[in-house]
Structures are given as structure tokens and as C-alpha cells.
Amino acid sequence: MKVIGEAGLVELLKSLLSDYQVYVPIELSDGTRVMGTMDEGPVSLLGGQVAAKPTAFFFPQMDSLFHFERGAIREGASKEKPICLVGLSAADAEGLAFIDRFYNIDFRDELYNKRREHSLVAVISGKLGNGARFEPLAGKNCDIEFAYDGSRFYVSAYTPKGQALERRISGEDSALPFEHLQRISIAQGQESKTILRHASQLILAGKVTDDFWQKIADECIACGSCIFYCPTCTCFDVYDCRDGDRSERIRCWDACLLGGYSREASGHNPRNEAERSRRRISHKLEADMLRFGELGCVDCWRCDVFCPTGIGIHAVAKRIVDRFS
């Protein structure tokens, strides 16, 4: 197993610029960490998971499907260099694997796959955030992983693209500290997933009552934060826009939680607020379990962090377990 320091990893990423559009965690002037290019701000690899969901690079919030002008039609997703995403968390990588399957299981979404197929995805895990927290190791769902032990990164490659990148590292070989990181990773983070699975079982058993969902709806302000930060949400709407002789078909993120999602042209909405709040949770904990045999929540905690009224999926799952167990 190769070992590389932080400065060496940054130089390695710079060497990819000729072949990829490289996006890494960077720090803005106000201290905010976002995914950006290395010329947009200082690289910030050790701060842990960034706020925005990485799946947006392959499924953007606003996306051009095609445009047509004077009889000529041109498809979206121009032929640019493939995307290289560095700094994903294990949960991010799991979310990316989830929508990889979604966009290929019943139909093949060509626009998504154009961006995704030749991409390079790297997870950064381990003792991040000045040692204040431990980001679990991915062990899969990415091309390559850099696990930090507090002073250097241990490199694990999982695909041919990852292995090709690993061969470009001239650092020393080591394995023992990485095994220690693996043991920490396995032992950590089980409690929240256990609560999610327990809540899922209660929903599947039909034990969660309508008045509970009405209570959650009463607390929801429909800001959409939970949906738009979620790495496994895939709902979108499609619009045709016209500007003179040029017209464009675009798709943009939508959400089952929002009133406009199911509202009919007459103004009638077949789903009331309680049903929409239920759908937000039961989609992840019930529908995805029935369809895929696994939860649609990858335990990234973004919805709990950004929900202004405290009803992210972990908070709701705990309330379900406390009340209906």
C-alpha cells in the first residue's frame, strides 16, 4: 500500500489537470469549504465532508437536455474533459453508487452517464478535522481512497483507473497503520444506521400512524433543504423554454416534499402536507427497501444538519423508534 503526504497529494492532483476537470474541497475567503477547482481557492483536503452533495456534478440542479434553433437540434452535456472528484466521504461514494444504479436499472439516462462513465472519484477518509472526528473508510464505491492517519494518507485503489493513479505515486509502502484505521471505521457509526433500520422496519410493518406524519408536516416549512442536500434524491421536472428562434428543454431538481411536485393543472393537489412529509421519509426507509433491498439514506447527515426545524431523517427516525417500538 502506497503512502503519500498532503503536499504530495496536492501535486498528484495537479498532474491530473491535463486529463480531467478536477474538483477538490477548497476554502473560500469566508472560511466556507466547497467543491471547486484548484485555482478558485486554497485546497482544503482535511476538513471532512463538504456541505453540497457531490452527485450534483453528474446530475446538476439545472441541466440542458437539448436545444433547437431553426430546425437544428443539439444535445446537452457538451464534450468536455471527464470529471475528477476528490474529497468525497464514504457516504458520498455510497450515494453516487445508489444513483448510478437508479439511472441504469430501468432506463439508461444518457446525459448522466456521459458525465459519469469516464470520471475519476476519490474518497478522503480517516482522522480529519484536526483529529476531532473520524470519517469512516469507504472500501468500495470509488476508484481510489486516501485514508488519513493524522500525518499522511494511505492509498487504496479499487478500480483500474484508481490503480493507474496509484502507480504514479512514488511514496513508501506500508499497511499496519491502515489496518488500525480500518478497525476504527468498522466500530464507528453503527448507532445511527441501527436507528434508521429500526424505523424502516416499523414503517414497513405499518405501525407509524397518520397523526405522526401530520405532526412532522406541521413542523416542516417546505424549504427543501433536506431534499436538495441529499445525495440520493433524483426527482426532477422538465421545462421547455423559448427565446426568439431558439428553444431549450431543461430539467431541474424537484422534490416530492414540495407542493408543486404533485399539484395538478386545476390547482388540486392529491397529496396533502402530511402525505408529502410521509413520502419524504418513507421513500428512503420503505420504498427503496422494497425496491432495492437497502435504505435510500446513506447516513451522510446533511438533512439533519441543514433542516432549520430539526426534522432531518435521523431525527424523525429516532422519534419513530421512540414512539412506535
* Position 190 confidence tier, pLDDT thresholds 50, 70, 90: low
Check whether 180 has a pLDDT greater than 90: no
Q: Which of 188, 203, 219 is the last residue of a domain?
A: 188
Q: What is the pLDDT of residue 132?
A: 54
Q: Which of 124, 153, 188 is the last residue of a domain?
A: 188
Average of pLDDT values for 225-253? 90
Identify whether residues 139 and 76 lie together within a single domain.
Answer: yes
pTM given for the model: 0.89
Number of domains in the chain: 2
Average of pLDDT values for 186-200? 79
Average of pLDDT values for 181-202? 78
Identify whether residues 151 and 14 lie together within a single domain.
Answer: yes
Q: Which of 168, 188, 208 is the last residue of a domain?
A: 188
* Position 179 confidence tier, pLDDT thresholds 50, 70, 90: low
Average of pLDDT values for 90-112? 93
Average of pLDDT values for 202-221? 96
Identify whether residues 165 and 20 lie together within a single domain.
Answer: yes
21-60, pLDDT tens digit by residue? 999 999 998 989 999 999 999 999 999 899 999 899 999 9
Check whether 69 has a pLDDT greater than 60: yes
Check whether 66 has a pLDDT greater than 70: yes
123-160, pLDDT tens digit by residue? 999 888 765 567 888 989 999 999 998 888 999 999 99
Average of pLDDT values for 61-78? 78
Average pLDDT, the chain: 89
Task: Please give the Cα distance from 53 to 34 (Å, whole number).
Answer: 10
Identify whether residues 181 and 90 lie together within a single domain.
Answer: yes
Check whether 176 has a pLDDT greater than 60: no
Identify whether residues 26 and 123 lie together within a single domain.
Answer: yes
Parent domain of 9: 3-188
Check whether 175 has a pLDDT greater than 60: no
Q: What is the pLDDT of residue 88?
A: 96
Identify whether residues 7 and 147 lie together within a single domain.
Answer: yes
Check whether 196 has a pLDDT greater than 90: yes
